[in-house]
Structure 1
Amino acid sequence: MNKIANNRRDFIKTTAIAAAAFLIVPRHVLGRGYVAPSDRLSIASIGVGGKGKSDIAMFAKSGKATISYLCDVDTRRAAESVKAFPKAKFYTDWREMLDKEHKNFDAVSVSTPDHNHAIQALAAMQLGKHVYVQKPMAHDIYEARMLTQAAKKYKVVTQMGNQGASNDGTRIMKEWHEAGLIGDVHTIHAWTDRPVWPQGIPWSANKADIPKELDWDLWLGTAPYKDYVNKLVPFNWRGWWDYGTGALGDMGCHLLEAPFSVLNLKYAKDVQCSIGSVYVDEFQRGYFPESCPPSSHVTLTFPKTKKTNGDIAVHWMDGGIQPERPSELGPNEIFGDGGNGTLFTGTKGKMMCDTYGLNPRLLPLSKNENLNIAQKYGRVNDGSEGHYKQWVEASIAGYGKKELSSPFEIAGPLTEALLIANLAIRGYDLKRDELGEDVYPGRSAKLLWDNDAMRITNFDEVNQFVKREYRQGWKALTL
């Protein structure tokens, strides 16, 4: 009897081990687009200093993610993340990390400067990895379109890092609008006090020593080679077209997300702008085409949607420019959050919110007293913090299984709108100099956008910025 019992125990033990071996499938066997066979997401992060540091901290805070790999071209900036996640293996070259480790993680977060977002994200997507990409998701219109198409082609879960898209504010304003509280919306104003970095300046002629901790060539990535200059890294790159997308790229995804969501905006049909200039000396104003201007006012026209009765004019203002205060707002009541805000104007009234869609309110403010509108849209737990957990959980569930606040199918058109606005800004400075005089033909033009062809039809000079040429050694994006 003892022998029979022992044999039975051995049989059960052996069977259990075999069953476990069958269920725990190696990642490389599952291949592209698989769902992780566990309730945790293994993440490789590209760019782990600054915003990247807070991004990966929020993924870890979700309780459902493991930060498995860290990558940064600047070991100084990466030091705190390396300390916070000592078990994560560190790389300086993201290409090496993807090549060597792609079988060992499920998803990639990208928190690098704008000019390298797309090439890093697409490489991960083509390996079947889910991706979280900081805003704006791309530097060029062509890149944004490619990433939008790639998410569908490779069936990966995507999210852009405009975390305000997960706040309650946007959903509340959708409910107000659909309840008819402000009528048909025809005009949007969004404004910011940024840039808070230098813009409208010439490139420094003072070459500086490259910090020993920084791989400058790899930081440049797809951008043209230039000598290193002080203070460009880690933040002031935002004001240079080779790397950044100006105040529009920095804040537009936060301030225009609500109008896109409330009104179902997609692709603009035309754009025009005016920009601020700086004084070169006491007699001459100057424009520096390598640098974003110190301020701008851009007007985009969007075609009628299912949520509007006609076209929608969207005004963007930066550099401290603000629209006229609504007459419904009291003289001492704060417009937006003071430096930033979004205003909806409809046929029956107005509503506004702060950055990230926060603090939505009807105008005049007295209309918010005893307001009782039924909730139609589900809320994201923990709002902007939940934006990260939402992507983690959706990635674990697999493509198409869970709703996200800013997947590339939504984030792509939003990003493209900002980049179309930048076409007008850059076209404002373009010179045609047949007679030896400076001329700025973009100043008085309304640029007409052909969305299918991805080009401006009446001012060809700006189409060079729709799809920039990558530096030699870096291949253009292809699906």
Structure 2
Amino acid sequence: MQQDSEDVSASRRQFLKTSAAATAGVLIVPRYVLGGRGYTAPSDQLVIAAVGVGGKGESDIASFAKTGKARIAYLCDVDDQRAAKSRQAFPKASYHKDWRKLFDKEHKHFDAVSIATPDHNHAAPTLAAMQLGKHVYVQKPLTHDIYEARVLTEAARRYKVVTQMGNQGASNDGVRQLREWYDAGLLGNVHTVYCWTDRPVWPQGIAWPAAKATPPPTLDWDLWLGSAPYRDYTEKLVPFNWRGWWDYGTGALGDMGCHLLEAPFRVLNLQYPSAVQASVGSVYVDEFKRGYFPDSCPPSSHVVLRFPQTDKTTQDITVHWMDGGIQPERPRELGPTELFGDGGNGTLFIGDKGKMMASTYGANARLLPTSRTEQAGIAPTLPRVPGQADGHYGQWVEACLAGPGKMEVSSPFALAGPLTEALLVANLAIRGYDVQHPKATGQGVDYPARNLELLWDPKQLKVTNLDEVNRFVKREYRAGWKLG
């Protein structure tokens, strides 16, 4: 039967209503449904530019990508060989050699920057990224120099970006457990902390090699040097052994200090030290004379830092740092066959009512004697980071996507900056030991240096009683490089 025009119009109106409703329904379906299980829309991803993508940088960006909420869009490295695996893993990412050119050309197209270069080249790209409004994740130690650490700490506050240092142990449950035990009064008042490591596992306390070498064709040596003074390339410096040379690295303290001292900083609310002294291991060039190699970090050291009283302490705190295999006396509360820390590394807190310790990264927190650990009965009061050390990466990605001030991260520059500064003040004492050495004044090398306690003024960023070491607070950048 033929419909009249009014019926046809009504049918059309109903069809359009139904179609519109169906279309609207499709439009409001969540994007993860359209993309399938686990799908994250491109607009919900953090777009990352990575500076330094070999070694630790390689594992860092892999961890960001693993979250499913980050896209590695730009890769930058001065060494094509070191970058090869990351380029293979992220074939769609644009590849660059010089981070300055990358930032100039592509800064409108990424949200955040991951930096995993040698220590001496941390600060400049980090500050440049923040000035562009980019969130930053920087490998430890935050900087090579004390001045750089203060600049980045203040810049993070000024530019209001999400920052995180790559000391993954800051996200471990162990650090939070230590805080809970201390806050519950199980140790009484902590007055002394020991941190120790078996590093260095690279050469230190040696002379700069006399033999020149030709850089491999895959390495841009001038870009690798970056802000450091020019030197001819030498074998075995890249990609690992640079850590033992003051021009590029920060020694065992820089490598492991951020992992081991993070817990004392967090538990006791430490900030800047007021005094520091050091003694270092000797290298003997023959039976009678001690070697003096000021370009290289020493083979071992024992540094004593004094921190002012905080809201968590009743007196000044003494923190001992030991490296090169030096360890503190085993606590009597520790059984004779129990591991001290993790064997080669650890942190020990000593209070007037008890002791506690942890392994590297603040892991495996234990009260002493260890039988107290299970008997403590202290309920968790602090939130945990899902995935702990692995979650350190995802936490930063989530915080960047949420926006500044919306989510906490474990090692923002507000915390990482003072921690790094303290480690670098400790290195000042080690370098001050060299400055005080008789060789520095031409008096020979057959008797030890003076061991002064250096008085540190954190407001002025200077040692007040040995001006010679203040030249290490802020180094001169090589021509063509600057901070800011």
Taking structure 2 as the reference length, what is the TM-score of the superposition? 0.91
Preserved CA contact (<8 Å) 1:336 1:353 = yes
Residue identity opposite 2:460 in structure 1: A
Preserved CA contact (<8 Å) 2:178 2:365 = yes
Structure 2: how far apart are the matches of 1:324 and 1:68?
50
Preserved CA contact (<8 Å) 1:273 1:443 = no
Q: Quote the residue 2:405 is aligned against.
A: 400
**Deviation sequence 1:300-341 (CA, Å, 0-9, x none):** 000000100000000000000000111111111111100000
Q: Quote the residue 1:31 is aligned against.
A: none
Q: Quote the residue 2:178 is aligned against.
A: 173
The percentage of aligned residue pairs carrying the same residue is 69
Aligned ranges 1:200-215 → 2 under 5 Å = 200-215=205-220
Q: Identify if the C-alpha distance between structure 1 residues 435 and 47 changes in structure 2 by more than 3 Å, giving closer, same or farther.
A: closer
**Deviation sequence 1:193-248 (CA, Å, 0-9, x none):** 00000000000011111100000000000000000000000000000000000000
Question: Given the alignment, which residue of 183, 188, 195 partners 1:190?
Answer: 195
Structure whose alpha-carbon radius of gyration is higher: 2
Structure 2: how far apart are the matches of 1:424 and 1:274?
8
Structure 2: how far apart are the matches of 1:2 and 1:281?
106
Structure 1: runs of 5 or more not aligned: 21-35
1:12 CA drift (Å): 7.1
1:386 CA drift (Å): 0.1
Aligned ranges 1:365-384 → 2 under 5 Å = 365-384=370-389
Q: Quote the residue 1:142 is aligned against.
A: 147
Question: Given the alignment, which residue of 353, 357, 379 partners 2:358?
Answer: 353
Structure 2: how far apart are the matches of 1:48 and 1:463?
33
Aligned ranges 1:33-52 → 2 under 5 Å = 38-52=43-57
Structure 1: how far apart are the matches of 2:339 and 2:387?
26
Taking structure 1 as the reference length, what is the TM-score of the superposition? 0.92
Structure 1: how far apart are the matches of 2:191 and 2:58?
40
Q: Quote the residue 1:473 is aligned against.
A: 480
Preserved CA contact (<8 Å) 1:424 1:442 = no
SS of 2:290's partner is strand
1:442 CA drift (Å): 6.4
Residue identity opposite 1:392 in structure 2: V
1:5 CA drift (Å): 6.2
Preserved CA contact (<8 Å) 2:438 2:449 = no
1:87 CA drift (Å): 0.8
1:367 CA drift (Å): 1.1
Structure 2: how far apart are the matches of 1:441 and 1:148?
37
SS of 1:444's partner is coil
Residue identity opposite 1:207 in structure 2: K
Count of aligned pairs between the two proteins: 458
- The answer to whether the aligner puts 1:446 opposite 2:453 as a matched pair is yes
Structure 1: how far apart are the matches of 2:410 and 2:257?
16
Aligned ranges 1:55-454 → 2 under 5 Å = 55-430=60-435, 431=437, 436-438=442-444, 443-454=450-461
Structure 2: how far apart are the matches of 1:206 and 1:319?
27
Q: Identify if the C-alpha distance between structure 1 residues 434 and 275 changes in structure 2 by more than 3 Å, giving closer, same or farther.
A: closer
Q: Identify if the C-alpha distance between structure 1 residues 7 and 366 changes in structure 2 by more than 3 Å, giving closer, same or farther.
A: closer
**Deviation sequence 1:389-417 (CA, Å, 0-9, x none):** 00000001111110010000000000000
Q: Identify if the C-alpha distance between structure 1 residues 12 and 135 changes in structure 2 by more than 3 Å, giving closer, same or farther.
A: same
Structure 2: how far apart are the matches of 1:399 and 1:100?
25
1:114 CA drift (Å): 0.2
Preserved CA contact (<8 Å) 1:427 1:442 = no
SS of 1:282's partner is coil
Residue identity opposite 1:166 in structure 2: S
Structure 2: runs of 5 or more not aligned: 1-8, 29-40
1:372 CA drift (Å): 1.4
**Deviation sequence 1:121-176 (CA, Å, 0-9, x none):** 00111000000000001000000000000001111000000000000001001000
SS of 2:410's partner is coil
1:465 CA drift (Å): 0.3
Structure 2: how far apart are the matches of 1:218 and 1:78?
14
SS of 2:336's partner is coil
Structure 1: how far apart are the matches of 2:441 and 2:250?
32
SS of 2:137's partner is strand
